[in-house]
Each structure stands twice: as structure tokens, then as C-alpha cells.
Chain A
Amino acid sequence: MAERENNLRETWITGIGIVSCLGEGLDAHWQGLNAPPPAADATSFAPYIVHRIVPLEFDRQIPKKGDQRQMEPWQRIGTYAAGLALDSAGVKGRQEFLSRMDMIVAAGGGERDAQVDLNVAANVDKAAKAEAFVNERLMSDLRPTLFLAQLSNLLAGNISIVHGVTGSSRTFMGEESAGVEAVRVAHARIQANQSDLALVGGAYNAERWEVMLHFALGRRLARGEPKPVWERGGMELGTIGAFLVLEEKAHAQARDATPFARIAAVTSDHVKRAPGAVTGALERMWSKIAPKLNATQAAVISGAAGVAPATEEERAFLSRQNLAVRATGTHFGHGLEPQFPANIALAAAALRAGRLYPGNASETAMDSGLKQVAVTSIGHWRGEGLALVEAV
């Protein structure tokens, strides 16, 4: 394995597209992190809390209205963020790159017509034949194109159509784990000479009742007033779109692309949650990046979901590493699939600035220059991941 490690190629981040409640683009996000968190919406989906995305001018990345109409919000947000990433990498509209660009999208999907669901659910018991009633309502009330707007792989499909990314197209599912594995596999393929250029990321629309209902069944949502991640005891969902352009170093140099940062390592784990399981996963993952860490110039960006007890275990583990830690969910909520790619983008922003953002009262200050960021994912149910992002 040692020989393999030495022969591995280097992965640069050469493009970033990110949208959330903090705004549009990496600069807006960096400014947002350096300010107090924007007010989350505690009324629209009360008693639950949502970090709503800023309004986007979709025409700027999805010029055809016909395309926009074929998508539900999560796909529009994702296609928009992907366009920003391609712009930022300088490959937008350049067929010579897009036709061999690999794509891995981390997607949930299943965006539903909440009103149709509600109408059927309210009346199904009155019908003489329940199943026949559901059939009849769905046949007449569902828009034919809604199916495509809710299919998980159709975010990738829309990115192919709108932006022309066609080298390859894979969609990973599985909540936070999907985002971790998407980045891990795209990076591994570049390292192993299976890919030179990749678009990786995802999108999540938190502003819908069917996801509230799903997580309510598992009692995984925070209630009441918005709080910092470490104090939530449940998720405050956030609408997020985040895409990265990952590129092999020599490939980027050959076209004079400027790197935001390099991905030095991505590792993941999988544990059934039980007391100590998250700690164990973090120990295993941390041991893989520890030899590369220089503690005097490193910090942690945590993707903690806010759920108890996983977030407490993560916090306790990270506090033992003697590094400054920031949980970005405090600012933009928890967006499941795109959370990990988004946090890698924010790590790149910090590395570009050469410093960590101030953080809140419970987060330790860091004054020294920043060269390395460890990005964690401890998902709300599964989805353990860790990346090491470094300044180039």
C-alpha cells in the first residue's frame, strides 16, 4: 500500500458553487460566517426551524424557463449551484472539458406535492374503497412531470441538460453518507488516474412539510428557538446547494486554473449508533489523517447534525484534539446530502483567507495562520466521514 500512496496523484479544488441562507457564492458565505448567524425561520414550519435559502435568480444559471419548470426546488438549487461551480472553475460552456467531466451527485429527492398528499390523507377513510380512491386521486391530481422532478438521479440529469456535463453521471443516495462518499470516490478516482476532472456535490430543500413529517417520525428535529449546533439536541434543517470542481493538479496547471485548496485525504466509516460508536468511528478516521496534521496551523470544520447524543460525542472527541472547532450548521442549518461538500467549500474559503472565522462564545478562538482544515461529517443517523483540506 505504501507504494500506492506514493504514486497517487493530487486533487485540487478548482471550482466552488454554494448557495444557502448565507447567500450565493463563496465570498458571501465567508462574509456570512464572519458575522452572527442570520435569523432562522421558526414560524413557517413551527414548531420546527428552517434555515431558508436566499432568493436566487434562477435565470442566471438555468436560462430556459422550460428547464426550470421541469424541476422542483431542490433540483433548481442544485443545478444553480453546479453552474456557479463550473463558472468558478472556468469550464462553463467549454465542451472540451464538460464532455469528459465526471459527475457524482449526492441526492435525496422525493420532493412531493404536499397539498395532494394532504387532500388524499384527509379523505381516504371516507372512501368506499381506499386503494381505489388513492389511485383515482393520484391519476388525476399528480402532474406527470412531477415524477422527474422528484427522482433522485434527475438532479444529475438536469445538470447534464443545462450545463452539458456528460463524461459520467452517478447519483449516490443515503443522507449525509451520500455526500461523504461522493467526495471520497471522486477524489479516489482522480488519485488513481481514473479521472482528471469531476463535478461533485448536491442539493437539499428543507422548506417542505414532507421532510418535516419524515424526521418528526424519528423525533430528530429541534423545536422552538434557533440555537447553535452544539445546543440543539435535534436538527434545524437548512436549504443548501453545494458543488465542487475537483481536478488533478497537472490538469489544472495545464489550463492555468487557480486552486482554492487541495484535498489531501477523504475517509469514511459506518457504525450502528450506540454509546461510544461515533467516538470509535472518529478515532479510526482521525488516525488516518493524524500523521499529516500540523496542530499549530490546523482547525476543524464540523458538519455536526445537532442530534443527541452523536453531536455530544463528536464535540467531546474534537475537544481532545486541541484544535479550534467550528460547526457551520449554526449559520446555515443541516442540509444532509450536500452538507459535507458544502463544508469542504467553507474549509477552502478559510484556507484562502488564511484564518478561521471567529465562531461563537463556546468555540475556541484561533489566531495563528491556517494551513489545514479537517472537515467532519457525523450524520444524524449514519454518515461518518472526515476530509483533510490543505492550502496549496
Chain B
Amino acid sequence: MAKDKAGRPIVVVTGYGVVTSLGAGKQDNWAKLTAGQSGIREITRFATDGLKTRIAGTVDFVSIGSAINAPELSQRFAEMAGEEAVAQSGIGSRGDFPGPLFLGVAPVEIEWQQRHEVAVAAGANDALSYNDLTRAGESGRFENYYERFLFGSVADGLAEKFGTKGAPISLSTACATGATSIQLGVEAIRRGETDAALCIGTDGSVNAESLIRFSLLSALSASNDPPTGASKPFSKNRDGFVMAEGAGALVLESLEHAQGRGAKILGVIEGLGEMADSFHRTRSAPDGKPTIGCITHAITDAGLSPDDIDYINPHGTGTPENDKNEYISIAAVFGERARSIPTSSNKSMIGHTLSAAGAVESVFSLMTLEHQRVPPTINYAVPDPAIPLDVVPNVARDARVTHVLSNSFGFGGQNVSLVIGREPR
């Protein structure tokens, strides 16, 4: 039977790929993740003079030439993760993916390098005006920048590369973006619109202006020394998140379609949960109602009860606010069990991959299911007595894992939870 309890097509994962500051590909990432290694480092891509935060989980091993900008990097990371996922699934043929693309990607804007180049072409001086800039801009020399910095350009490049079908959807739900891309893919398969979907979350936006923006909101850790110690989810001395880059990609298929072509089933996206928070732009409702509702919806949608969840991959950013709120929500949903369910934050090692996080962490959740091993929360030296969770401190451990809850919570009241299972029921 290829339908779930609610009579909907069961949606399975048949391929996944990942790129983070730890490396390219799932094997390399998993080895380092379970060894408790950090990918956080001193920023070398741009000058950090005058900045409070000088560290990030940048992906520095990928060369894309001189045009280093967020959409270019985001596209490259997404290509790498997507190629790995599609190759593993064996679906379609090269450049001919039999379904749509759902791409979680950071909003794009013309960056300083480009603005500077146009200003130079305009003959920058004290009296520089937008008339000067647009006149220089219309020379035609910068046509490629126009296209590169359209919001739809990353998805367009990926749709062409993978040969996905129909109009690709670019989406952004802040730090929940990657999870939303999966959610949209699952919904499309459940309603019978497609048999397969390529869902990717990607982020290559570690640049000076993005870092400054988060810094001005006091969201970032400034524990620069050593960089590997900066991301401290659930610790009492946590002082913010660490910006990071990467991509996660999943090939989703209806169980029927996957079985029909003899594909190996790597996991099941069993439940989707969502509830927006109307409390504040950057802070969560103090009573945790929206995140509690979000988690509960995901578990209910999966046809499960909280007792069935045996691992939590939390949002766990390491900001004072998120981790406290997330604990309150987990405690409300799971009661006494909250203290004993392994709950480890990948972000302690790879940082916060922002628009990619939900997808990257879904990949790691699938690997946790596959290997029956839970990666640790590193940098856990000073427990926070207000957050009595089993965070799998500092060292990975073997565990029986059948259903994972993966949380993604973002600015703008964006809350998405996924329940990911090991095999079809």
C-alpha cells in the first residue's frame, strides 16, 4: 500500500546530497560530524576590519573564479548537493529530472563589488548621483549583473542544469527556508501533481553586508577565538549564532514511483508542521504556542504521537532566545521525555547555514536514521540548568532512531517542523 493513514501518497527520499564548511558530500560530512569537528573558521573572503564578528562557517574549498557573490556561490553549492542527490537516486537521466524544483535560497541584491564597479564606470566623485550610475549602467557592460541579481536567477540556472519540469519555485522563509522547500515538494507529491521533486536549500551569503546586518541585530556570536568554539547551542554561555554556508538537496518521490523503478528507499518524509508566530519580527511568543503548535502539527500529520519520536534535530542556533524557546516547546510537547530524547544541534559544528539549514539538517537527520548514530552538540562545556535536555554532549553516540523531529524556526515568525522516518509504514 503506497498511501499513508490519511490516504495520501507516501513520500520517500531516494537521494540526498550536502555541502557544508566541513566538506563536500555526505560521507565526508558524516565522518566529521560524528567526530565532533567544527567547520567554523576565521573569515578570509573579505576584510573584517571594524567588525565584531570575524568568523563564519564559510565553504572555502569551492572555487568559482573571481565573481564571488551570494547568488553565484548559492548556485554552485546547490549544484554540488543536487548532483550528489540525483546521482544517488538514479532518477531520470542526466539533465532530465522528472519533476519540479523547489529552491530555498537567500534573497539576492546587487552587492558592493558590482555597485563599486558601476560607480567607477560612472566616474565616482562627491557629486555622484543615481543618474550617473544608471547612465553608466545602461552601457550594456553590466548586463550579466542584471540577470545574476534577479531573484529568480539561481533557480533558473539550476532548473536548466538538472532539467527539472515546469517553473522552478524560489522561496524564502528566513531560517526555515530549507524546510519549506521540502514541505512544498511533499505537498506537490501528496496532491498527485508530480511523482518526484527536487528540493534544495542553499546559502552562500557570507559577505560583509549580510554579516553586518545580523551583527546590528545582535544575533551573532562574537566569540572569535577560537572560531571552532563559537557555536554553543544550549550552553549557558551561548552568545549568538555563527553564519555559515552550504546546501542540502533531497530527491523526493512517491513510494509508488520509487518502488516502480526499484529505487532504494533512504527515508520517509512522514509529517509536515507549520504555524506562524504573530508575536514579533525576531522574537518568539514567550509562551511558545506557535512552535508548540508547529511541532504538534508535524507529529499529527505523520500519524504519530510524541512518544514515537526518538531523536530531535532542533533548530538549536545558539542564540539565548531561540534555545530557551525551543526547550520550552519541546518540554511542552514531550513532557518528562524531553529530558531523555537525544536532541543534538548540527549547528554547533557547521554553524547556521540560514536558507540551507532546513535541507542540510534533513540530510543529517536521514543519515542519523541510516547509521543509527547521533551526532553530538559540541562546545557543550557549561550546561544551562534552564535547558535540561539530553543534547548528546560533545561525543556522538549510537542510538535506536526510527522517527526524527527536525525543527526550523525563523525571523518573521516562520516555523516549520518535519518528521522523518526510516522506512514506509
Contacts and interface: CB of A to CB of B under 8 A. Distances in A.
Given A153-B173, A166-B275, A144 B116 contact: no
A269 B152 contact: no
A148 interface: yes
A166 B401 CA distance: 32
Nearest to A110: B109
A132 B46 CA distance: 9
Interface stretch (A255-263, A309-317, A376-384): A376-384
B381 interface: no
Contacts of A103: 276
Interface in B158-175: 159-160, 166-174
Nearest to B140: A219
A173 B138 contact: no
Given A218-B147, A269-B167, A121 B133 contact: yes
Contact of B118 (A132, A147, A217, A220): A217
Interface in B107-121: 107-110, 112, 115-116, 118-120
Contacts of B240: none
Contact of B167 (A110, A148, A384): A384
A189 B188 CA distance: 9
A109 interface: yes
A210 B167 contact: no
Contact of A130 (B116, B275, B281, B413): B116
Contacts of B215: 139
B208 A135 contact: yes
B130 A185 contact: no
A184 B49 CA distance: 47
Nearest to A46: B131
A25 interface: no
Contacts, number: 257
B211 to A, nearest CB: 9
A381 B48 contact: no
Interface stretch (B75-83, B190-198, B261-269): B190-198
Interface residues of B, number: 82
Interface in B323-381: none
Contacts of A60: none
A65 interface: no
B281 A170 contact: no
In this complex, the member of B51, B126, B147, B412 whose beta carbon has the largest number of chain A beta carbons within 10 angstroms is: B412
A175 B151 contact: yes
A86 B328 CA distance: 33
Contacts of A4: 192
B290 interface: yes
A124 B107 contact: no
B50 interface: yes
Given A122-B125, A170-B171, A194-B190, A135 B48 contact: yes
B5 interface: no
Given A131-B49, A217-B146, A384-B167, A169 B116 contact: no
Interface stretch (A112-120, A245-253, A327-335, A355-363): A112-120
B128 A213 contact: no
A192 B142 CA distance: 44
Given A129-B49, A178-B170, A160 B277 contact: yes
Contact of A122 (B124, B168, B191, B414): B124
A267 B127 CA distance: 49
B278 A166 contact: yes
In this complex, the member of B129, B172, B216 whose beta carbon has the largest number of chain A beta carbons within 10 angstroms is: B172
A272 interface: yes
B163 to A, nearest CB: 11
Contact of A121 (B119, B155, B156, B193): B119
B290 A171 contact: no
Contact of B276 (A166, A180, A191, A269): A166
A268 interface: yes
Contact of A114 (B130, B282, B413): B130
A130 B281 CA distance: 33
Given A136-B49, A175-B152, A270 B166 contact: yes
B318 interface: no
A180 B169 CA distance: 10
B213 interface: yes
A131 B47 CA distance: 6
B410 interface: yes
B87 interface: no
A213 B137 contact: yes
Contacts of B93: none
B139 to A, nearest CB: 9
A148 B281 contact: yes
A104 B160 CA distance: 25
B134 interface: yes
Contacts of B107: 108-110, 150-152, 173
Nearest to A215: B146
Given A169-B414, A212-B134, A177 B152 contact: yes
A164 interface: yes
A178 B115 CA distance: 26
Given A132-B50, A185-B169, A270-B167, 17 more contacts: A110-B107, A122-B119, A124-B112, A132-B47, A135-B51, A144-B217, A147-B216, A148-B217, A157-B174, A160-B277, A165-B276, A173-B105, A173-B151, A173-B172, A175-B150, A175-B151, A192-B192
24 contacts: A48-B134, A120-B112, A123-B124, A124-B112, A124-B116, A131-B46, A134-B112, A138-B208, A139-B215, A147-B214, A147-B216, A148-B411, A154-B411, A156-B276, A157-B174, A165-B276, A166-B277, A173-B152, A180-B167, A181-B169, A194-B191, A219-B146, A382-B152, A382-B167
Interface of A: 4, 48, 70, 103, 107-110, 112, 114, 117-118, 120-125, 129-132, 134-136, 138-139, 142, 144, 146-148, 150-154, 156-158, 160-161, 164-175, 177-178, 180-181, 185, 188-189, 191-192, 194, 209-210, 212-220, 268-270, 272, 381-385
Interface of B: 46-51, 105, 107-110, 112, 115-116, 118-120, 124-130, 133-134, 137-138, 140, 142-143, 145-147, 149-152, 155-156, 159-160, 166-174, 180, 184, 187-188, 190-193, 208-209, 212-217, 274-282, 290, 410-414
